Amino acid sequence: MGARTGAGALGGGLVISARAVERRYGRKRALRPVDFELSPRSFLVVTGANGSGKTTLLRLLVGLAAPTKGELEVRVQRGALGYLGHEALVYRDLTALENLDLYGRLYRVSERRERIGMLLERFGLWDVRGERAGSFSRGMLQRLALCRTLLHDPELLVLDEPFAALDADGATLLDRQLADLRETRTIVLSTHEPERVERLCSDRLALT
């Protein structure tokens, strides 16, 4: 029982190995037992109805929660994980630029300013880089959260409903970004629109 994140001893070059992983909060079961393995450069799409445990599973993968039962191994260092959750995980009273600079420093991103500038431009936030995140719409916050997630060029991307709140332009941008990352990164993505990433995904996990 337990979860490990880091350069562990997973066999067969797997990035993730989950065996009968289950999560309960008290008597309430948030995630039914799941088994799956993921090799490098895979693209796993997690689907399921509301309350089926998608968010719980993704939080287990990045180490924000621990399994109640089962074995979970994630063979990626903490600094090489990129997590997009339901919240943007940014400070509302800092500007977009200041938020990314903070995370860039903590993740020790090389050529930080250039990387931040490139991401802000790519996600259409360059013109509002000096505005507080608290003044952003939900869609703009999601774009900023995507910038934060991709800032340190993570090996493993864990994206919880990344298309939520994005407008058509934002969703197209994300489609393009995922297609670019598909060949070189391992991606776990939960969504209610699996058809959107149908052509990219290599593995599927349907939670019940």
3-state secondary structure the chain: CEEEECCCCCHHHCCEEEEEEEEEECCEEEEEEEEEEECCCCEEEEEECCCCCHHHHHHHHHCCCCCCEEEEEECCCHHHEEEECCCCCCCCCCEHHHHHHHHHHHCCCCCHHHHHHHHHHHCCCHHHCCCEHHHCCHHHHHHHHHHHHHCCCCCEEEEECCCCCCCHHHHHHHHHHHHHHCCCCEEEEECCCHHHHCCCCCEEEEEC
138 binds another protein (CB under 8 A): no
66 binds another protein (CB under 8 A): yes
C-alpha to C-alpha distance for 98 and 39, rounded to whole angstroms: 35
Q: Which part of the chain contacts another protein (CB under 8 A), choosing from 27-35, 94-102, 164-172, 177-185?
A: 94-102
Residue 35 or residue 93: which is nearer to another protein going by CB? 93
User: Are the CB atoms for 181 and 163 separated by under 8 Å?
Assistant: no
Is 89 or 200 the residue whose CB approaches another protein more closely?
A: 89
Judged by CB under 8 A, the residue of 105, 138, 192, 199 near another protein is: 105
Query: How many of the chain's residues bind another protein (CB under 8 A)?
Result: 29
| 2-5 sheet: strands from edge to edge | 2-5, 69-74, 16-25, 28-38
Contact call for residue 88 and another protein (CB under 8 A): yes
If one asks whether residue 79 binds another protein (CB under 8 A), the answer comes out as yes
User: C-beta of 66: minimal distance to another protein in Å?
Assistant: 4
Check residue 83 for interaction with another protein (CB under 8 A): yes
Residue (123 or 136) nearer to another protein, CB: 136
- Under rule CB under 8 A, residue 115 binds another protein: no
Of 11-19, 42-50, 89-97, 181-189: span binding another protein (CB under 8 A): 89-97
How far apart CA 70 and CA 163 sit, in angstroms, is 30
User: Of 7-15, 100-108, 161-169, 185-193, which segment contacts another protein by CB under 8 A?
Assistant: 100-108
Stretch of 37-45, 82-90, 159-167, 194-202 lying at the interface with another protein (CB under 8 A): 82-90
Is 1 an interacting residue with respect to another protein (CB under 8 A)? Answer: no
Phi and psi at 132, nearest 5°, equal -65, 140
31 lines the binding site for another protein (CB under 8 A): no
Residues binding another protein (CB under 8 A): 62-66, 77-79, 81, 83, 85, 87-94, 98, 102-103, 105-108, 132-133, 148
